Amino acid sequence: MVGIVIVSHSKALARAIVELAQQMVKVPVPIAIAAGINDPQHPFGTDPIQIQKAIRSVYSDEGVIVLMDLGSALLSAEMAVEFLNEKQQPKVKLCAAPLVEGAITAIVQASCGATLEQIITEANNALSGKLAQLSPQEADQPTVSFLTQKSQSHLLSRDLIVKNPLGIHARPAAQFVSIAAQFEAEIGLENRSTNSQSINGKSINQVITLGVRQGHQIRITAGGEDAALALNALREVVENNFGETAMPLPVDLRQCENRGVNTTLRGIPASVGVAMGPVIIYRPSLPQVDEQTCKNPQSEWQQLQAAIQTAQQQIHQIIQSTDHCDIFQAHLLYLQDPTILHQVHHNIFTLGQTVAWAWKTVIEETMTTYQNLDDPYLQARAMDVLDVGGRVLRLLTGRPSPSPNLTQPGILIAQDLTPSEVTHFKTEQVLGICTVTGSPTAHSALIANMLGIPMIVNVGAQLLELAPETVIAMDGKSGEIWMNPDPEQISIFPEKTPITPEQKAITQDGHYISVVANIIGVADAQLARNLGAEGVGILRTELLYMERLTAPTEEEQLQTYREIASILNPYPLTIRTLDIGGDKPVPYLSLDREANPFLGWRGIRQSLDNLEMFKTQLRAILRASQDNNIRLMFPMVSSVAEVRAAKAILLEVKQELQTQGIEFNEKMPVGIMIEVPAAVTMVDKLAPEVDFLSVGTNDLSQYIMAADRTNAKVAKLADAFEPAVLRMVEHSIKIGHEQGIKVSVCGQIASARQAVPILIGLGADELSVNPPCIGEVKAVISGLKMQEVKRLAYEVLELDSAQEVRDYVNNIF
């Protein structure tokens, strides 16, 4: 097989190109990267020796193709070839194709077994797809059939409808070409919906050039002795939607709106609840930046590299937690687009612009280029550029994520939302949220749930076609969205039962259960208190640290903790120390990408290694404890040694505050979260070290079931209703009570109506729930009898699956 070498000034760019191309092929291709130079201060460049080694690593008698980016890359590559021996030199070809398009084309064709000459021809034509789409009058269109007379004697054809969301874009095109290449038959493809001529189905550039979109009719033609076999194989991949999720063919929503037609859309439920109101389209703009000149261009350029690296880390986290990997893989490529970076470099070093102004200028110019195109799909890419550009610009300027300026209540429509954006929403204005992409396990969905805002994600690009002010109704439990809902549809929405905040959660036989809230900040603390929370079982402090370039100061944290405590007094506020890592990146810590982040450097492990930041948070919590009912809790504990180490640091901070004459509550309760199997096993040793326990069922479920809850393929396995998880909860509560301390249960299961009888029956002293669920959980508890739920709890522990547990509870309550 022909080998491929990628030569680039940027190692990140080269890796991203290879990663993208490898997702398009099933047959591994020998690929080597020669990118960047070994200089931490100035990593951009190319090295002839490095290129020579890369060529030799993939060399075979079938040859090697070298693709390069700009400038010195070509000179370095030419020099590297000269270093090879006389036998190897003729079989190593430097390719003039554009790097990104050429490399992807070359790798796909190499995987199909193409020759050196065939690959170079295809790679050099890699821009034909763009030319056909952007400048159709200038593109070379095939004028005659490529089929030979022999092939035409065995000619077969098949008409099919393309149903996958984006049609035959790069990855489906690669699949089509790979399959076509397996047959001797000559394969033709035409787009019947655009009246195109037949093109060579074994050429990835020509296949992409057809511009086949969802809903288009294509005709596959095969000629040759194995034509029937080839046609059947290609038909199968098309009918299987190229392995992508099938979606309904697009509905022209604008026509429906104009005619008052009632239309239903469907997405993935992310936050329960119902809402109805006018559509509010949310398209965040770039942060405002003043035009300024810079004094140190090199320093400005280094700031950009740091911001891009942080943005890449954030996007990699998104990729791990969403089904829409293609979208965000493209975002990574935007970050290393040589045209964008070259122009920004020019603006900084030649025009003397500051990095923020230079970046903003280039991003706006790029967006304008996309918006001026005729193709609606390509026009929509301007939003991707805005997303990526805004992410970097906010990192450069330290500006927070934008929040919509709403003039009236309504349903917010967006491409996707960050946790910071949702945090700033006011529940009286944002009645519901619907997003084009997104994941129900994303932190934005978790926050919407806590704020009591119904949310549906992954609805599709049709959402953005809705005209502003269109009235829609949404059901966050079923994932359904109705445009212009009729009275019958509105009537199926359940009316909200009034909640009495003062009502205590007391069983029918007199047992009191504390119902507290899971919160992330001041806004939902007030919401929780208004809804009847008797304190906070867990304040997740991560959002104080995320999406900023520096850690929050002691004073910033102190102000937040005091404000929340004052809302809750005299009820308790349980503050969980920082739990980052895993699916929660923090840019300024330069966390390495981990193969298994949930099993990595996170929670108390990370805090014990970052003493300065840990002590700053402990100082703020201790200072806030003066005259407030505050409890401290350590996350992700897996050993007695960790608890003792954390308590020793806490004692050290207390002594420092006493020396400075700063007052605090010296008897502030200290607890830990039980969310690691090791902690469950060692709970008899851990309990004597602390004042209370809190069982975190979200993480405990995924660790017990060995299923990443952010991975859509296995997330359903991380179900807290699984008897294996419930047995861990039961054991933790039992041992905690034997040691004379109270045990709380937090996580999504504590908010689930079906789970409440089980958890109470297992002996939970406190349930920490999402604020919107407080009233319902209290109502469920008030209808229970302890003797009955104890029997129920121990019966479900003997069942075989989560579904059996749910069914069993449903049959009784």
In terms of DSSP bridges, do strands 573-576 and 536-540 run parallel, antiparallel, or are they unpaired? Answer: parallel
Query: What would the two tokens of residue 25 be?
Result: 């092929």
Could you tell me which residues come within 8 angstroms of residue 147 by beta carbon, excluding any fewer than 6 positions away?
Answer: 155, 186, 188, 198, 221, 223
Taken as a whole, the chain contains a residue count of 813
Active site residue 95: no
Choose among 40, 94, 37, 38: nearest CA to 64: 94
Query: How many CA atoms lie within 13 Å of 64's alpha carbon, on the beta-carbon side?
Result: 28
* Half-sphere exposure (Cβ direction) of 129: Cα atoms closer than 13 Å: 24
Catalytic status, residue 154? no
Query: Within the chain, what is the greatest distance between any pair of CA atoms?
Result: 97
Rounded CA gap, 762 and 764, in Å? Answer: 6
Residues 6+ apart with CB under 8 A from 336: 10, 12, 13, 16, 308
Looking at the DSSP assignment, which residues form a beta bridge with residue 457? 268
Residue of 95, 294, 746, 773 marked catalytic? 746
H helix runs in 660-706, sequence order: 677-681, 683-686, 697-705
Choice among 95, 216, 443, 773 that is catalytic: 443
Report angle CA 330, 95, 171 to the nearest 5 degrees.
Answer: 30
Angle between helix 376-397 and helix 297-320 axes, rounded to 10 deg: 120
CA–CA gap between residue 252 and residue 467 (Å, rounded): 12
Q: CB of 507 within 8 A of CB of 760?
A: yes
Asked if residue 669 lies in contact with residue 651, where contact means CB atoms within 8 angstroms, the answer is no
Can you tell me whether residue 241 is helix, strand or coil?
helix
For residue 379, the SS3 value is helix
Give residues with Cβ within 8 angstroms of 686, minimum separation 6. Answer: 637, 640, 643, 672, 674, 679, 693
Residue 241 half-sphere exposure, CB side, CA atoms within 13 Å? 13
- Give the active site residues: 443, 746
